Amino acid sequence: MNRWEFDGPLHTERLELRLMTPDDVAAVHSWMSDPDVVRYQLYEPRSLEVVTEKVAEYGQARVLADKGDYVQPAIVLDGEVIGAVYFTIASADDETGEIGWVLRREHWGRGYAREAAARMLDVAFDEVGLHRVYAELDPRNEASVALCRRLGMRHEAHFVEHMWFKGEWADTGIYGILAREWRA
Ligand X SMILES: CC(C)(COP(=O)(O)OP(=O)(O)OC[C@H]1O[C@@H](n2cnc3c(N)ncnc32)[C@H](O)[C@@H]1OP(=O)(O)O)[C@@H](O)C(=O)NCCC(=O)NCCS
Residues that bind ligand X (CB under 6 A): 37, 40-41, 100-103, 108-114, 137, 141, 143-144, 146-147, 150
Q: Give which of 79, 73, 72 is closest to 14, Cα–Cα.
A: 79
Q: Which residue is nearest to ligand X (CB)?
A: 111
Rounded to a whole number of angstroms, the minimum distance from the CB of residue 57 to ligand X is 19
Q: What is the DSSP letter of 73?
A: P
Q: Contact 2/74 with Cβ under 8 angstroms?
A: no
Nearest to ligand X of 33, 141 (CB atom): 141
Nearest to ligand X of 45, 111 (CB atom): 111
Rounded to a whole number of angstroms, the minimum distance from the CB of residue 173 to ligand X is 9
Q: Which residues contact 102 (CB under 8 A, 6 or more apart)?
A: 31, 37, 41, 83, 84, 86, 113
Nearest to ligand X of 9, 109 (CB atom): 109
Rounded to a whole number of angstroms, the minimum distance from the CB of residue 3 to ligand X is 27
Which stretch of DSSP H or E encloses residue 74? strand 74-77
First-to-final CA distance of the chain: 20
Q: Give which of 115, 139, 119, 30 is closest to 71, Cα–Cα.
A: 119
Rounded to a whole number of angstroms, the minimum distance from the CB of residue 100 to ligand X is 6
Rounded to a whole number of angstroms, the minimum distance from the CB of residue 114 to ligand X is 3
